[in-house]
Structure 1
């Protein structure tokens, strides 16, 4: 009703303060202020003409196609899992090979340090798959720590971090996380422990 009223009465959106007074005087409903604010905040025309603040976005960077398995990997952390085994793991490190789309899920504890995570990664990924040339990840503090940075400088691996609120950069890992969560939901529904699978 609010949308129809405003579109009928005002052919182009105005500032909230200019529209609010006549609307509040003419009509009453229990959620009128909330509805009015939602309309103003979601009005497509208003959003298009708003002044943009801040720097312009840069161009997307092309990710080089890997030539060998595990040469380029995507990594992400899943936390907040329900502890599902006697070790009480409540988080998982997802590692996905960009070429083969092979995924490894490494359970760990949310409170583990950067060193614990590095040892987990070394023992389960580097020791079996080799050293990757490029690792794409979000800006997880455990991964951006000084330890990891120094380790990968010594190994000659390039760390590529996604920008804030841009999950498309690490989309491969994000998609695999969805798949893993679906699988875990099915296992947990039958009382199985995800560490064993």
Structure 2
């Protein structure tokens, strides 16, 4: 599925087009990143909501908000699989065009070079986070911030010292947060909201409302 093409006209999504599902899938994949839950759950549920709605959707901003309402209603396990579609912070390969731009690349060219030690640190922090919060992936709205700043943010979330070490603290020394606990769910819900912020930012970057 091509997720780097322009958004289809909203009229194709909200009309009785013969292929509304295809248009909606392409649009949501661009804004939220493609994933199995997006295809199997979000698209049909959003289609149903659009058909039942007494207030027509007239902007992509409204479409995003309606999609987020549906995502917030999902079971935690489905939410976790949905956010896992976003690339890890610091990944540089197999990114969609918008993800690459958000992470400092354009057309395969690094426009905001990140020191190798910061990338190594981020790789370790991702492992630490996913060990501490089983089933979750660290998601944050980058909003123009450097990867070095995001690394410090991740360290603060994990409660560890700021460092450029590629392997400290050892992953196994971190406590594991129980799946479904208040802390685990707080991180999950924060990630969902940041996915929403990313989608809105992508919409703005595309010059669409």
Asked if Structure 1 and Structure 2 have the same fold, meaning a TM-score greater than 0.5 normalized by the shorter chain, the answer is: no
Which of the two has greater helix per residue? 2
Which category of TM-score, normalised to the shorter sequence, fits these structures?
Answer: under 0.3
Bigger RCO of structures 1 and 2 (CA < 8 A, at least 6 apart): 2
TM-score using structure 2 length: 0.24
Give the TM-score of the pair, scaled to structure 1: 0.25
Q: Which protein shows a greater Rg?
A: 1
